[in-house]
């Protein structure tokens, strides 16, 4: 069975072909996402909110992440389509030392993850290097990092002033240099999304980071219009027009590939 790899995503970036990522937490949706030809699945710690009903991601444990990664990996293996790359989140506190990071990343890889995702900035560089040297591929989540949103003034746009934007550009440079195979950039102005994507050799996956990133990710429940309350600007409900879950997943993949999502109204110009 064909498998999407990090090298394939890098080749897509080099050809200027955008790819999509969606979160999944269970086998059924993982199969549907694979069937829809979405290149990458994120087993996000957003499951703390979407599945467990918490108000934030900080309650999510390694046991939760291992359990949901196993469910998603089983679902992906049931699809006849090319297998999406599975990225699994390292939850809050699971990578404060390099030894903890390696032990916990290995648990996620054993559960079926192809790449582990870590939230943070420059402090992550030694952790990324340690994992990469041991053959554990890392995605670094920058910009708005939900696990530490309180330190960032809440769920708000990051990298607005030149100093903050320069810090994020520098983090991207240092983390790529440390070995990060993917970068994920959340909630920054379009211009910064463009700068980071153009300045990185590895694919940059955006969420609320404008139209110029190499890929776009959304939380599954958001793109199916299932999230109650106020929605972030970058969220688009693809189910409303598509009518079925399968058609919504396909529409999201197509909109990302063709560059029609995100549109101006989903961006922080």
Retrieve residue 23's tokens. 């979160």
Interface with ligand KIV: number of residues (CB under 6 A):
11
Separation CA 126–CA 149 (nearest Å):
22
Separation CA 82–CA 4 (nearest Å):
7
Which one of 217, 249, 251, 257 is in contact with ligand KIV (CB under 6 A)? 217
Compute the residue count for the chain.
269
Separation CA 241–CA 254 (nearest Å):
14
Q: Least distance to ligand KIV from the beta carbon of 213, Å?
A: 12
Which one of 19, 23, 214, 255 is in contact with ligand KIV (CB under 6 A)? 23
Separation CA 74–CA 131 (nearest Å):
25
Window of 10-18, 42-50, 223-231, 252-260 that interacts with ligand KIV by CB under 6 A: 42-50
Which one of 72, 207, 249, 256 is in contact with ligand KIV (CB under 6 A)? 207
Contacts 24+ apart (CB under 8 A), 119-123: 119/90, 119/145, 119/146, 119/147, 119/148, 120/145, 120/148, 121/167, 121/171, 122/170, 122/171, 122/174, 122/175
Q: Which of 35, 32, 39 is nearest to 11 (CA)?
A: 39
Q: Which of 22, 24, 20, 119 is nearest to 68 (CA)?
A: 24
- C-beta of 92 vs 161, nearer to ligand KIV: 92
Pick the catalytic residue from 17, 63, 186, 198.
Answer: 186
Q: Does 42 bind ligand KIV (CB under 6 A)?
A: yes
Q: Least distance to ligand KIV from the beta carbon of 1, Å?
A: 26
Q: Least distance to ligand KIV from the beta carbon of 68, Å?
A: 11
Binding mask 151-190 toward ligand KIV (x if CB under 6 A, else -) reads ---------------------------------x------
Q: Does the active-site annotation cover 162?
A: no
- C-beta of 60 vs 248, nearer to ligand KIV: 60
Tokens 């409303």 — which residue?
Answer: 240
Q: Does 219 bind ligand KIV (CB under 6 A)?
A: yes
The helix (run of H) or strand (run of E) holding residue 221 is helix 220-223
- C-beta of 54 vs 134, nearer to ligand KIV: 54
Tell me the sheet residues that pair with 204.
183
Q: Does 44 bind ligand KIV (CB under 6 A)?
A: yes
- C-beta of 42 vs 124, nearer to ligand KIV: 42
Active site residues: 186
Q: Which residues bind ligand KIV (CB under 6 A)?
A: 23, 42, 44-46, 89, 141, 184, 207, 217, 219
């Amino acid at each position: 069975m064909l498998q999407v790899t990090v090298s394939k995503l890098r080749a897509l970036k080099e050809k200027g072909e955008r790819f999509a990522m969606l979160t999944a937490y269970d086998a059924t949706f993982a199969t549907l996402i694979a069937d829809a030809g979405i290149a990458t699945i994120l087993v996000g710690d957003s499951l703390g909110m979407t599945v467990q009903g918490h108000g934030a991601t900080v309650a999510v444990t390694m046991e939760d992440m291992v359990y949901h990664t196993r469910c998603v990996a089983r679902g992906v293996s049931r699809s006849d389509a090319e297998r999406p790359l599975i990225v699994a989140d390292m939850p809050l506190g699971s990578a404060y030392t390099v030894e903890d990071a390696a032990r916990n990343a290995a648990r996620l890889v054993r559960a079926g993850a192809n790449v582990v995702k870590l939230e943070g900035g420059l402090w992550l560089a030694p952790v990324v290097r340690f994992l990469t040297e041991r053959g554990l591929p890392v995605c670094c989540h920058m910009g708005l990092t939900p696990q530490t949103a309180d330190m960032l003034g809440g769920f708000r746009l990051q990298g607005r002033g030149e100093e903050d934007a320069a810090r994020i550009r520098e983090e991207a440079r240092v983390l790529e240099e440390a070995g990060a195979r993917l970068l994920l950039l959340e909630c920054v102005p379009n211009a910064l999304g463009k700068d980071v994507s153009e300045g990185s050799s590895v694919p940059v996956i955006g969420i609320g980071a404008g139209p110029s990133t190499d890929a776009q990710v959304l939380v599954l429940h958001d793109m199916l219009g299932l999230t109650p309350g106020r929605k972030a600007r970058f969220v688009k409900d693809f189910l409303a027009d598509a009518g079925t879950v399968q058609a919504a997943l396909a529409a999201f993949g197509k909109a990302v590939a063709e560059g029609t999502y995100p549109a101006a109204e989903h961006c922080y110009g």
